[in-house]
Amino acid sequence: MTFGLGWKFSIEQPRGDGREEGFLAANKHPPRTVGGNGRICIIVAALIDTNILVYLYDTRYPVKQKVAEQVLRSGIDEDNIRVPHQALVEFVSAVTKRTSPDGPLLNDADARQEAEEFLHQFTVLYPNDQTFRLALRGMAAYKISWFDAHMWAYAEHFGLSEIISEDFQHNRLYGSVRVRNPFTQ
pLDDT digits (tens, 9 = 90+) for 34-92: 445 555 555 579 999 999 999 999 999 999 999 999 999 999 999 999 999 999 999 99
Nearest Cα neighbor of 157 from 86, 68, 74, 71 is: 86
Domain for residue 149, yes or no?
Answer: no
Domain for residue 65, yes or no?
Answer: yes
Q: Is the distance from CB of 55 to CB of 61 less than 8 angstroms? A: yes
Residue 118 CA to residue 124 CA, distance in Å, equals: 8
- In this prediction, residue 37 carries a pLDDT of 58
Domains in the chain, number: 1
Tell me the pLDDT tens digit for each residue of 111-133.
999 999 999 999 999 999 999 99
- In this prediction, residue 177 carries a pLDDT of 96
| Ramachandran category for residue 110: left, alpha or beta (phi over 0 → left; psi -120 to 50 → alpha) | alpha
Please compute the mean of the pLDDT values over residues 17-45 and round it to a whole number: 48
For residue 123, give every residue at least 6 positions away whose Cβ sits within 8 Å of its Cβ, in sequence order, or none. 45, 79, 81, 82, 83
- In this prediction, residue 44 carries a pLDDT of 76
Task: Give the domain extent around 62.
Answer: 42-125+159-180
- In this prediction, residue 41 carries a pLDDT of 52
- In this prediction, residue 185 carries a pLDDT of 65
Please compute the mean of the pLDDT values over residues 152-166 and round it to a whole number: 96
Residue 108 CA to residue 86 CA, distance in Å, equals: 18
For residue 169, the domain's CATH number is 3.40.50.1010
Domain for residue 152, yes or no?
Answer: no
- In this prediction, residue 102 carries a pLDDT of 80
Domain for residue 165, yes or no?
Answer: yes
101 falls in which pLDDT band (50, 70, 90)? Answer: confident
Domain for residue 147, yes or no?
Answer: no
Domain for residue 35, yes or no?
Answer: no
Nearest Cα neighbor of 178 from 157, 155, 158 is: 155
Share of the chain above pLDDT 90, in %: 71
Q: Is the distance from CB of 176 to CB of 59 less than 8 angstroms? A: no
**Dihedral angle sign, alpha carbons of residues 48, 53, 58, 64:** positive
C-alpha dist (Å) from residue 139 to 9, 60, 88: 38, 31, 21
- In this prediction, residue 40 carries a pLDDT of 52
